Structure 1
């Protein structure tokens, strides 16, 4: 089980890095849009996987690999926290508040949509 989580985590971390690089190159912004978009996508995917797992339509080993491992590493709270601190240090209070509230509500809603899609 730990190996599956580790493999999924490695794939999620690599995917997150690549997605973040691509988004940041295409969209130049001082707002941390790349992390927000990655966390929204990851929340949606985790919601879908959660629904399948809770309805016994997803084998445990796939849940460990994708839900716990991949999504756990693909979405990132630590980067979110770091970027909030960067915004606050740059005295961009409005952007920090938008980022915090937007992340909280949009990612939670994305998870809920993912659950509904496969329920």
Structure 2
């Protein structure tokens, strides 16, 4: 890895983390409730983008350095499965078992499905 790629990847991670803060804050300001909808939408959309970018890189339509910057840096900073785990534990502690189950299992299923959808779209666009 070149020094320039390292810097780009690091900056993209910071941008992703800032975007996560902005998106989650915007969703929390508009949607009240116990379910962590912001984290769900962030992780699902990040999984979609990662699947899409990875497929474009594997298909040769996107340079592998961009896959690292966007996929590892931006999406890595944007998505937050550790927060999702914490929020699931918090829901269990509040005895909201149904919401905790939906959060844990639903997020996993939705994120994997979104990643697969990103791969499919990447194949359609980039071959």
Question: Into which bin does the TM-score normalised by the smaller protein fall?
Answer: over 0.9
Cα deviation, 1:67-95, whole Å, max 9, x if unaligned, reads 11000110111111110111011111111
* Segments of 4+ moved more than 4 angstroms: none
* TM-score, normalization by structure 2: 0.90
**Structure 1: unaligned runs, 5 residues or longer:** none
RMSD: 0.9
Equivalent in 70, 80, 84 of residue 88 of structure 2:
84
- Give yes or no for the alignment of 1:18 onto 2:22: yes
Q: How many residues align?
A: 119
Structure with the greater alpha carbon radius of gyration = 2
Q: Is the CA contact 1:4–1:64 (under 8 Å) kept in the aligned structure 2?
A: no
**Structure 2: unaligned runs, 5 residues or longer:** none
Q: By how many angstroms is 1:61 displaced? A: 2.3
